Amino acid sequence: MSASRIAARVQRIKPSPSSAAADRAAELRRQGKHIVNLVVGEPDFDTPAHIRKAAFDAMERGETRYTATAGTPALRAAIAAKLQRENGLPYDPKDIIVTCGAKHAIFNALAITVEAGDEVLIPAPYWVSYPDMALACDGVPVVVPCTEEDGFKLTPALLEAAITSRTRWLIINSPTNPTGATYTGRELRALADVLLRHPNVLVMMDDIYEHIRFDSDATPHLLAIEPALASRTLVVNGVSKTYAMTGWRIGYVAGPADLIAALDTLQSQSTSNACTISQAAALAALTGDQTFVQESVQTYRARRDRALESLNAIPGISCKTPGGAFYLYVNCSGLIGRTTPQGERLEGDTDVVLYLLEQAGVALVAGSAYGVSPFFRMSIATSIDVIDEGCRKIADAVAALD
């Protein structure tokens, strides 16, 4: 028997670093320190009223019992309609499963497919959960670093070089957390051409930020560009970010029948259906008035522009304009090697973030958490006032460096 009663698959993983930074900020706040929180990974808006009301009405109607594991027929039909309407993807509702958030969807997708030693290609900077999820499923996360010059995007050459006979998955997240990188149709076409040469590679499209994008032209979906990939692609999405519904825990996956059936089997023996009341709310989100989506994106855009202007005026740090999501991935290479008023040398972005937290009271996440340094992630899912205060304090703390 092993010395620890915790299984190796859990010993291999660590809690999400975004939460660790948030925890440290919360601890300082508990000690009475004023902390400007620029860590948050969720919309700061309330869920729109018509969505909340749909949940209330569902409860009143008695929709409080189990549904089919894959979700209510109405919600699956609404998701199929959304995928057709917005993405041009022809899915049958039976090829869709509703999950307890996109995170749950991605985890289960890896769990049903990854054998020990299978490789999961993860372009970096990446969402912090991907590598640990791969590890938890006995896989090998293969991080593919992407450069700021390439817009933090995977190039066909990088993809081709990373694929081996053990590659099981490629995960693409566009717009990307943490960089806001947004793939164009032409870039997706070029990646599709590489993928067509490697028929055993499965593709996970994490579309969770699809609506939070700032350029006017909607990018065609990878599968609209190359329908031949549909037989080995899972389209992962959810209502968390688009409709400010992070706490409701509704995500979904569309894909080929065998993968959806396996997801259904695993989910039926683990979590069962996603929350029934939340499913009713998600149905209202997808089928109801979409004004909130446009309005919130306008708000994010104004915040992005304001934060970019302030940050790019600070000597030693710089930030490229993100195409979507609600984060800025800020280059802090000009601060590395500088000395704090306490006489400590900033060796990397973890030091920078710690300095900005302790000295300026501004909570951020170090780029090391996302696989590409030296950067830090700033969330703009907060008010302009908070963003202004944060940028001002960062500027002061940077000015205090030697």
Q: Decide whether 235 or 401 has the Cβ nearer to ligand PMP.
A: 235
Site string for ligand PMP, 109-128 (x = CB under 6 A): ------------------x-
Based on the shown chain and the rule CB under 6 A, indicate whether residue 101 belongs to the binding site for ligand PMP. yes
Number of residues interacting with ligand PMP: please give it, by CB under 6 A.
13
Binding segment toward ligand PMP, per CB under 6 A, in 25-33, 96-104, 218-226, 342-350 = 96-104
Nearest residue relative to ligand PMP (C-beta): 101
Q: Which of residues 218-277 bind ligand PMP (CB under 6 A)?
A: 238, 240, 246, 251
Query: How far apart are alpha carbons 41 and 179 in whole angstroms?
Result: 13
- Measured at the CA of 323, the angle between CA 319 and CA 328, to 5 degrees, comes to 35
Query: How far apart are alpha carbons 33 and 331 in whole angstroms?
Result: 27
Q: Give the nearest distance from C-beta 240 to ligand PMP in angstroms.
A: 3
User: Among 76, 82, 103, 303, which residue sits at the site for ligand PMP (rule: CB under 6 A)?
Assistant: 103
CA 297 to each of CA 192, 287, 315: distance values in angstroms, whole numbers, following the listed order = 29, 19, 29
Burial class (CB in 10 A: 0-12, 13-18, 19+), 109: buried
User: Among 208, 225, 229, 365, which residue sits at the site for ligand PMP (rule: CB under 6 A)?
Assistant: 208
Q: Which of residues 126-145 bind ligand PMP (CB under 6 A)?
A: 127
Q: Give the nearest distance from C-beta 243 to ligand PMP in angstroms.
A: 11
Query: How far apart are alpha carbons 324 and 322 in whole angstroms?
Result: 6
Binding segment toward ligand PMP, per CB under 6 A, in 101-109, 153-161, 222-230, 391-399 = 101-109
User: Among 39, 40, 41, 303, which residue sits at the site for ligand PMP (rule: CB under 6 A)?
Assistant: 41
**Sign of the alpha-carbon torsion through 366, 369, 375, 376:** negative
Q: Decide whether 326 or 355 has the Cβ nearer to ligand PMP.
A: 326
Listed in sequence order, the residues at least 6 apart from 93 whose beta carbon sits closer than 8 Å to its beta carbon are 73, 76, 77, 79, 80
Q: 208: closest CA among 247, 241, 252? A: 241
Q: Give the nearest distance from C-beta 273 to ligand PMP in angstroms.
A: 16
Element (H, E) at 168: strand 167-173
Residues that bind ligand PMP (CB under 6 A): 41, 101-103, 127, 173, 177, 206, 208, 238, 240, 246, 251
